[in-house]
Structure 1
Amino acid sequence: MNLRFVEAFYWVASLKSISRAADKLYLTQSAMSSRIATLEEELGVLLLDRRDKQFKLTGAGVRFLMYAEKLLELQREVKAEMGSGEAMAVSMRIGAIESVLHSWLIPWLESLRTEHPGLELELTVETTPILVDQIQRGTLDLVFAVLPASADGVRNQALPTMDMVFVGNPQLHTKRSYKLSELASMELLTFQKGSQPHVTLLDLFRQHQMEPKKVHAISSISAMVQLVQGGFGVALLPRAAVERLTGFAPLRPLSCDVKLQSLPIHASYRTDPATKTVETVVRSAMRFAQQQGHAPKRRPSKAISGKPVTSKKSMM
């Protein structure tokens, strides 16, 4: 029995789609269909119910899925036993929100490349809803987003939360500390409507029975940074991202008289019985994020000066 055909069936069943499984394994749909048909011929049973447009496994398909997972796990164990010293060589598709990108993602990827030089990465930076949809559909292997994903074969791991901070222009915002009522009179910048920072910011003012002057929804950290530089308003950003921007943009974290809700971060990933690569990468990310969270924080300077940051896109 060809284990590549078994793997093809496993992903078709897990992702509930021949086309998505084909994308996962870098095959054409016709090649994927051919592998499933050959496997069915060898087993002497139909694994997919093709009578309905909606994806469905036959009774035999449901039973064989359990065997397929065991076969792929056994293959992984054999490879590990017979070639345990080999470097990990596999392609991984990783997605992240821009808050993670601007905080610890890049140094972590650099560290990961050192630990596993055979690892080939595909990186996507998107909003949480898009990333959750992509991990559920199987177009990404691992995502770092605000919300956990919910789907068969997807696991979630909570990572350290991110402290949020108001950020202003050091030439315009010179006070040692600001009251929430003072910030309410300014034009505020936060992530797109419906995002966790946007919702919690509005809730914060409601809880204190205040109405902010304006809340601009900006789906890009680089755009918010440049708007703050231009004196457009005050932005709500992850503190770690602001610290990473040191030396690139004139920014000043603003002390506030109320506590801001932290940004939750979750790692969502698809399990693969044929390899433990994803689990290894998730453990690496978890360790790195925890180290960043426990590392001594630099005291923010009054001004962060330098050249403006440019970034293709952002998100929350």
Structure 2
Amino acid sequence: MFSLRSLEIFYWAAHLHSFSRAAEKLNTTQPGVSQRISALENLVGEPLINRSSKPIALTSVGRVLYGHAEVVLRQVSAMEKDLALHEKTQRRVRLGVSETIVQTWLSAFLEQSSREFSNIEFDITVDVTPPMLRALLEGEIDMALALGPSVVDGFTQRKLNDFPLHFYARSGLLGGEALTYANASRFPILTYPRNTYPYEHLRDMLLRKTGRPPRIFTNSSISTIEKMALDGVGIALVAEGSLQADAQDHDLKQLSTDIVLPPLSFYAYYPLGVGGEILGELAQIAETTADRYAHARRRST
């Protein structure tokens, strides 16, 4: 007989094209995954996975079983949802988060999620968007709160909120002047890493307007960018509300400027189908939390 656990392990190994990634997702070991799939192959009487290919690939019989396994697991997920079992069974969610969200409304999201799903444990990874989307595809995280929109095969996305981008500098750095294309080269611009939208868009705009490449210092840590700006190293370009000093009487001030960039747009990415049901509910909580944060920011300005 086919066991539900064996079908689940086979499904995820095939879906992620990796025994090790399936083991990580299902909180088991790689030898355990291999043994389960070998037992299924003995039961069927034929190989299900071509282990010599890189990454692993399904055989023709494996593709048949994969289709049936998906139907079975979807039905089990629907049953668990109808019986509210997904709210009672202990579960770990590996969550990737952009630092802008960490600095703004992540705590409120975790608090609300814990109230509604006390059975969930979060493993949180903070990173920029491109590595997070790769981690989603490779099964290293279950859900990402990241910049978008982006097309990620097999995943859906839910719009969360927009963050305007502002320039911040230590009082007196520009001598009371507004930041313009003409004087933007006087100090380095401190902003997000090279493989992110703000860096690419800013560099392109300044290069086109001035005819020379700008000086841009990049860093994945907003707190480091803030510290550098406070030390007078340069001018910070970050999302509204992401600086610790933003709402305080601090020496770091938002600059008047004619350099306007589109806002950062954040989305929740999570898989469709098997295993995605509770993640969809978490995405709804993230959307509600982001909306509340945006309304609170508008009321305070």
Same fold per TM (> 0.5)? yes
**AA partner of residue 237 (structure 2):** L
- Tell me the equivalent position of 1:33: 34
- Tell me the equivalent position of 2:264: 263
Counterparts of residues 1-316 of structure 1 (less than 5 Å)? 1-83=2-84, 86-87=87-88, 89-147=90-148, 152-173=153-174, 175=176, 177-209=178-210, 211=212, 214-242=215-243, 245-247=246-248, 250-271=251-272, 273-274=274-275, 276-297=277-298
Compare 45-54 and 68-77 and name the one that shifted more: 45-54
For the 8 Å contact 2:181–2:210, the answer to whether it is kept is no
| Runs of 4+ residues deviating >4 angstroms | 83-86, 147-152
Shift of 1:261: 1.9
Shift of 1:160: 2.4
1:248–1:172 CA distance, 2 compared to 1 (3 A): same
1:250–1:282 CA distance, 2 compared to 1 (3 A): same
For the 8 Å contact 1:148–1:268, the answer to whether it is kept is no
1:260–1:247 CA distance, 2 compared to 1 (3 A): same
1:83–1:230 CA distance, 2 compared to 1 (3 A): closer
Shift of 1:287: 2.2
Give the whole-Å Cα distance in 1 for the aligned partners of 2:276 and 2:263: 34
SS across alignment from 2:75 = helix
**AA partner of residue 185 (structure 1):** R
**AA partner of residue 39 (structure 2):** T
**AA partner of residue 4 (structure 1):** R
For the 8 Å contact 1:181–1:210, the answer to whether it is kept is no
Give the whole-Å Cα distance in 2 for the aligned partners of 1:262 and 1:124: 23
* Long gaps (5+) in structure 1: 301-316
Task: Count the aligned residue pairs.
Answer: 300
For the 8 Å contact 2:80–2:86, the answer to whether it is kept is no
1:208–1:50 CA distance, 2 compared to 1 (3 A): closer
1:231–1:52 CA distance, 2 compared to 1 (3 A): closer
CA deviations over 1:126-173 (Å, ceiling 9, x no partner): 122221221111010011222566555333334323210001113545
**AA partner of residue 161 (structure 1):** D
SS across alignment from 1:134 = helix
Give the whole-Å Cα distance in 1 for the aligned partners of 2:136 and 2:54: 23
SS across alignment from 1:198 = helix
SS across alignment from 2:184 = helix
CA deviations over 1:28-55 (Å, ceiling 9, x no partner): 1110011111222233332112354541
Compare 24-33 and 46-55 and name the one that shifted more: 46-55
- Tell me the equivalent position of 1:309: none
SS across alignment from 1:71 = helix
CA deviations over 1:250-296 (Å, ceiling 9, x no partner): 42111212322212323222345256111111121122223333445
* Long gaps (5+) in structure 2: none
SS across alignment from 1:99 = helix
For the 8 Å contact 1:186–1:212, the answer to whether it is kept is no
Shift of 1:95: 0.7
SS across alignment from 2:254 = strand
Give the whole-Å Cα distance in 2 for the aligned partners of 1:256 and 1:289: 27
CA deviations over 1:65-92 (Å, ceiling 9, x no partner): 1111111121122233344695463110
For the 8 Å contact 1:94–1:122, the answer to whether it is kept is yes
- Tell me the equivalent position of 1:303: none
1:106–1:207 CA distance, 2 compared to 1 (3 A): farther
SS across alignment from 2:182 = helix
- Tell me the equivalent position of 1:306: none
For the 8 Å contact 1:8–1:21, the answer to whether it is kept is yes
Give the whole-Å Cα distance in 1 for the aligned partners of 2:12 and 2:264: 33
SS across alignment from 1:157 = strand
Give the whole-Å Cα distance in 2 for the aligned partners of 1:144 and 1:83: 25
Q: Considering only aligned residues, what root-mean-square deviation do their CA atoms show, in Å?
A: 2.6
For the 8 Å contact 1:184–1:211, the answer to whether it is kept is no
